[in-house]
Structure 1
Amino acid sequence: MRAEDVLADQQNQGQFKGVTVRKGTVGAFLANARLWLDDASSSDDKAIAERDIVDALPALHALGLFDIVQVRDAALRELVSVATE
């Protein structure tokens, strides 16, 4: 399956398990996770990244991301698991 099989080029979002998921959600999660884990990031930037990670969790779960991929970093894994409970 290719990306365009999930969302056509002209589509910006889709419905997955009743949740609207925007194109780029997984990429944004990865970028925010990298920023959140980077010791050089400011506390303000980390706080924004954390909020964005938490906000994206319903979409990421609807996609089944964490059914396939395990978060290796313990702190990020804790954030993802605590925020979904």
Structure 2
Amino acid sequence: MKPQDILPDQQNDVQVNGLTVRKGSVGAFLASVRDWQDPAGDPAARASAEADLRALLPGLHALGLFQVLAARDPALQRLIDGGR
């Protein structure tokens, strides 16, 4: 299956279990994880990244992402598990 089979180029979001999940949500999650896990990062940037992660979690759970993937970082996995 190709990405365009799931979400055509001209479509920017999908409805899953009553939630709107935007194109780019997985990429935004990964970028936010990197910022959140950066021990040298500014505390305000890390807090902002955590807020972004929490906002993305419901949609990613609805997509079923965490039914097939688990985080290596226990703190991230706790965050994921708490975002159901």
With normalisation by structure 2, the TM-score equals: 0.94
- Partner in structure 1 of residue 60 of structure 2: 60
Gaps of 5+ in 2: none
The number of residues matched between the two structures is: 84
**How large is the RMSD of aligned CA atoms in angstroms?**
0.9
Cα distance in 2 for residues equivalent to 1:8 and 1:80: 28
Moved over 6 A (4+): none
Structure 1 unaligned spans of 5+: none
Letter in 1 for 2:29: F
In structure 2, what is the equivalent of residue 73 of structure 1?
73
**Aligned equivalents of 1:49 and 1:20: distance in 2?**
20
The structural deviation recorded for 1:64 is 0.3
Is 1:45 the counterpart of 2:41 in the alignment?
A: no
Give me the TM-score of the superposition, normalised by structure 1. Answer: 0.93
